[in-house]
């Protein structure tokens, strides 16, 4: 099974068996900071649309226009379960929703977990359940929801199946996390100057760590095109809490790259 993101899986996430550079494309989609994480008291990245397509980047291939991300292949059991160390737990999906889906896996057609999630989305299984019904509605609409229309579910990250095109042009599915209720900001600096900050009270140290974990994906070949990405923020990069961490975080990532237990993405299909 695979899921798409830009962060290297940490102790909070299921370990990845391999990872590969990929590109997200859609008619109109932007990646931005706006999803609030109650667990870490900081903003996180989100997409403006749930209707995307993901294509892996082959060795030596120049990525096409779009939002560059990293596909992580994960052990099937780590995806199915929902306790600590699972993808569900790490990405913050509603545990009840995920367990309702996995309870129906035996009745769904054969395939990967991501393919089964797509079939579950397109089916009427558990349709009487309000949580499942609203999840289907949000994903099929695929756009952000205004604050006056939001429900409790919109505060969560939702598991979303997306078409995944592999190097040999084979089509399958991956899963990515999306929040329909996340506020939209054109930069992290704009988010930090918003009225939401007064209510949320962010942990600025945690936010700086998360920001650096995102932008240091550049060491693995990820590029942030300002036409599609509102991730890099020169103003925010000059804040004291970011400057305090940038050297140590960069060194740590370079050490990980040289460690056989981690390695560069070119071991999994991409060369810098």
Neighbours of 118 (CB within 10 A): 20
Q: Model's pTM, two decimal places? A: 0.90
* Geometric angle at alpha carbon 47, from 54 and 126, rounded to 5°: 80
E strands, 26-167, in order: 31-37, 42-47, 53-56, 67-74, 158-165
At residue 257, does pLDDT exceed 80? no
For 67, counting Cβ atoms within 10 Å of its Cβ (0-12 exposed, 13-18 middle, 19+ buried), the class is: buried
Q: Are strands 31-37 and 229-230 parallel, antiparallel or unpaired?
A: parallel
Give Cβ neighbours of residue 148 (< 8 Å, ≥ 6 apart).
Answer: none
Separation of alpha carbons 120 and 116, rounded Å = 6
At residue 4, does pLDDT exceed 70? no
> What digits encode the pLDDT tens for the residues 186-231?
999 999 999 999 888 999 999 999 999 899 888 878 889 998 899 9
DSSP 143: B
Q: Which residue range(s) make up the domain with 77?
A: 2-268
The Cβ-side half-sphere exposure at 264, using a 13 Å CA radius, reads 13
Nearest to 135 by CA among 116, 120, 113, 114: 120
Q: State how many domains the chain has.
A: 1
Place of tokens 């769904």: 108
Percentage of the chain beyond pLDDT 70 is: 91
Please compute the mean of the pLDDT values over residues 56-82 and round it to a whole number. 87
Separation of alpha carbons 167 and 58, rounded Å = 6
> What digits encode the pLDDT tens for the residues 108-161?
999 999 999 999 999 999 999 999 999 999 999 999 998 888 899 998 999 999
Give Cβ neighbours of residue 236 (< 8 Å, ≥ 6 apart).
Answer: 187, 188, 189, 192, 211, 242
Separation of alpha carbons 245 and 158, rounded Å = 31
The confidence score (pLDDT) of residue 20 equals 85
- Specify the length of the chain in residues: 272
- Categorize the per-residue pLDDT at 267 as very low, low, confident or very high, splitting at 50, 70 and 90: very low
At residue 2, does pLDDT exceed 70? no
- Categorize the per-residue pLDDT at 271 as very low, low, confident or very high, splitting at 50, 70 and 90: very low
Place of tokens 């506020």: 183
Separation of alpha carbons 45 and 226, rounded Å = 14
């Amino acid at each position: 099974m695979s899921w798409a993101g830009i962060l290297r899986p940490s102790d909070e996430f299921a370990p990845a068996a391999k990872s590969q550079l990929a590109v997200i494309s859609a008619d109109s989609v932007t990646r931005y900071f706006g999803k609030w994480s109650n667990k870490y008291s900081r903003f996180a990245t989100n997409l403006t649309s749930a209707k995307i397509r993901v294509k892996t980047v082959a060795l030596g291939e120049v990525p096409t226009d779009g939002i560059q991300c990293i596909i992580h292949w994960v052990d099937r059991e780590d995806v199915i379960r929902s306790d600590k160390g699972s993808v569900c737990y790490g990405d913050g999906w509603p545990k009840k929703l995920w367990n309702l889906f996995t309870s129906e896996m035996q009745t769904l057609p054969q395939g990967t977990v991501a393919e089964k999630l797509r079939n579950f989305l397109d089916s009427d299984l558990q349709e009487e359940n309000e949580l499942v019904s609203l999840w289907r509605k949000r994903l099929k609409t695929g756009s952000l929801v205004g604050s006056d229309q939001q429900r409790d579910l919109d505060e969560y990250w939702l598991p979303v199946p997306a078409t995944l095109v592999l190097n040999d042009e084979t089509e399958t599915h991956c899963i990515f996390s999306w929040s329909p209720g996340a506020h939209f900001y054109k930069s992290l600096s704009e988010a930090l100057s918003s009225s939401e900050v007064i209510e949320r009270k962010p942990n600025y140290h945690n936010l700086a760590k998360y920001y650096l974990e995102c932008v240091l994906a550049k060491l693995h070949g990820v590029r942030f095109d300002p036409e599609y990405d509102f991730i890099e923020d020169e103003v925010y990069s000059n804040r004291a809490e970011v400057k305090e961490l940038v050297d140590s975080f960069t060194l740590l990532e370079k050490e990980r790259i040289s460690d056989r237990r981690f390695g560069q993405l070119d071991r999994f299909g991409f060369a810098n």
